[in-house]
Amino acid sequence: MSGDRTGPEPGAAEAVGRRIQQLRTARGLTQRELAAPRYTGAYVSSVEAGRRMPSTDALAHFAERLGTSRQELLTGRAPAHDLRIDLELALAEAAAGPDPAAAEAAYRRLSAETGRAGDTLHAAQCHLGLGRLALERGEPERAVREFDEAARLSAGAPAHLRVGPVIGHAECRRHQGDPRYGAYLLRQALTELTEAGLPDPDALLGLHAHLALCHHDLDDDAEAADAAAAALALAGPRDAATVADLHLKVCRTLLARGDTRAAEVALLQARQARRQAALAVPLAGCRVIRGRARRTSGDLAAALRDLADAHASFVAAGRAGLVIDSAVELAEVYRALGRRAEARQLLADLAPGGPAGARVPAADRVLAALATDDGDLPAAERHLRDAADGYRRTGPRRHLAAVVLSLADNLEAQGRAAEAVALLQQGLADVERLSGEPSRPAVAAD
């Protein structure tokens, strides 16, 4: 969530009027003195009585005359208060990866504080943070409750400030095996932004990135590639977390010196970079999707850049399963480029018996292709048998069928035709025994 949080809430005219009256009397001003030279005493009287909500220009005039800010007149909170809350939220976001328990404690403390102050949008951000932490722990039901509360708190905000809960709910749907409904929620939010004339870049980036992942889960390759391209066109630097930390240090220094205005600018830059950093894994998934599409179209150099970047991001995020997925994709591109030694090195530690179950057979399959390229049919046979064993346990059926056919070709090339026929018969039975084809491995869920 980002944007202007200073707009009046429904029923705020009376509260604004009381604040103006309190500040005016504290400063010893009459209504006429406060109004001069642009407004009348009668106008000030109607505002203080709560009969009128002052215009933006009138608020700015009153704030200047009273030595305060428009924001404080509207909310009762000094600018430094919101700046402190924003800074503490940014620090909680930064702690979410290395110390999730500390991040949760900070979010809960800030949620209580902002709730007491009636600061609904900041409170909504706290619940968004708690929902993301719950998802990281593998608790989608709890995450749904947090995102529901964030949506409730931000219900009256402009469309671009309500995108966070939508993305959270879409992520939960993916985790619960319903990416189709997740995609529906995201498309609906994109339509709402367009119709409202609020094409906020941060909101669009998050929506397109998660939409790409939903379409990938649904095997909608063309739609996934389009959404991934839209997200990557809006993405900033890949080292956004480092950029955010540097801006936060600047903000804290400036705030300690009392330079609130400069600190606010630094904090805004930090929050923007932190939002980019929070999307590091989904954006890496978008790069896998785009890299796969580029490999299919024959643009191997561009595919290599995308897949190498994605692989590095998954390694940095500690996503073991996604590291293996991207390593297999990257190894296939290395092989297509004739860089077989690099492909083999990349896969050497992934198979057999790696940490990601069904993902390991894919590594064996590529290692078998590399051995075949080298003319080492016995080594290729060993890798194909390992891959077939893995796919027999977990599927998907189409991959088991492809590996069985490759293994039969291998046996026939070694002069073992009878074994090849027996293998095909057994392989057909194994494929039929698999009750159903599981979902395609997600590129940004682990």
- Domain annotation covers residue 94: yes
Q: Which of 388, 390, 429 is nearest to 411 (CA)?
A: 388
Region 199-226: mean pLDDT is 92
What count of other Cβ atoms lies within 10 Å of the Cβ of residue 156?
Answer: 12
Share of the chain above pLDDT 70, in %: 91
- Please identify, among 232, 250, 277, the residue that sits at the C-terminal boundary of a domain: 277
Considering the domain architecture, whether residues 266 and 145 belong to the same structural domain is answered as yes
Considering the domain architecture, whether residues 198 and 317 belong to the same structural domain is answered as no
Q: Which of 4, 69, 60, 61 is nearest to 34 (CA)?
A: 61
Asked if 364 and 370 count as a contact pair (C-beta separation under 8 A), the reply is no
Considering the domain architecture, whether residues 39 and 124 belong to the same structural domain is answered as no
CA angle 379, 384, 389 (to 5 degrees): 130
CA angle 396, 401, 405 (to 5 degrees): 150
The predicted pLDDT at position 4 comes to 37
Confidence band for 443, pLDDT divided at 50, 70 and 90: low
The 10s digit of each residue's pLDDT in 316-333 is 888 888 998 899 999 999
Asked if 110 and 88 count as a contact pair (C-beta separation under 8 A), the reply is yes
Distance CA 405, CA 431 (A): 12
311 CB-contact burial (10 Å; exposed 0-12 / middle 13-18 / buried 19+): buried
- Domain annotation covers residue 207: yes
- Domain annotation covers residue 196: yes
Tokens of 331: 């190894």
Cα torsion 72, 270, 98, 238: sign: positive
Considering the domain architecture, whether residues 237 and 313 belong to the same structural domain is answered as no
Q: What's the number of domains the chain is made of?
A: 3
- Please identify, among 236, 253, 277, the residue that sits at the C-terminal boundary of a domain: 277
Considering the domain architecture, whether residues 214 and 197 belong to the same structural domain is answered as yes
The 10s digit of each residue's pLDDT in 332-376 is 999 999 999 999 988 886 644 444 444 488 888 999 999 999 999
pLDDT at 112 over 90: yes
Q: For the domain that residue 425 is a member of, what is the CATH number?
A: 1.25.40.10
Q: What is the mean pLDDT of the chain?
A: 86
- Please identify, among 23, 40, 75, the residue that sits at the C-terminal boundary of a domain: 75
Considering the domain architecture, whether residues 62 and 180 belong to the same structural domain is answered as no
**Most confidently predicted of 19-33, 115-129, 134-148:** 134-148
Q: To the nearest 10°, report the CA torsion of 30, 32, 33, 37.
A: 170
- Domain annotation covers residue 177: yes
Asked if 411 and 386 count as a contact pair (C-beta separation under 8 A), the reply is no
- Domain annotation covers residue 2: no
Considering the domain architecture, whether residues 90 and 190 belong to the same structural domain is answered as yes
pTM: 0.69
Locus of tokens 């330079």: 259
Considering the domain architecture, whether residues 58 and 134 belong to the same structural domain is answered as no
Range of the domain at 370: 281-433
The predicted pLDDT at position 267 comes to 84
Distance CA 306, CA 283 (A): 11
- Domain annotation covers residue 105: yes
Distance CA 160, CA 183 (A): 17
Considering the domain architecture, whether residues 87 and 60 belong to the same structural domain is answered as no
Distance CA 360, CA 280 (A): 24
Considering the domain architecture, whether residues 33 and 125 belong to the same structural domain is answered as no
The 10s digit of each residue's pLDDT in 30-73 is 999 999 988 999 999 999 998 988 888 888 888 888 888 787 78
Distance CA 127, CA 110 (A): 10
- Domain annotation covers residue 443: no
Distance CA 174, CA 238 (A): 24
pLDDT at 268 over 90: no
- Domain annotation covers residue 8: no
Considering the domain architecture, whether residues 87 and 31 belong to the same structural domain is answered as no
Considering the domain architecture, whether residues 163 and 210 belong to the same structural domain is answered as yes
Q: For the domain that residue 61 is a member of, what is the CATH number?
A: 1.10.260.40
Tokens of 3: 């944007």
Asked if 335 and 373 count as a contact pair (C-beta separation under 8 A), the reply is yes
Long-range contacts of 383-390 (CB under 8 A, 24+ apart): 383/351, 384/410, 386/351, 386/352, 386/361, 387/351, 387/361, 387/362, 388/361, 388/427, 389/361, 390/352, 390/357, 390/358, 390/360, 390/361, 390/364
Tokens of 222: 């063309």
Regarding predicted confidence, which is higher, 196 or 107? Answer: 107
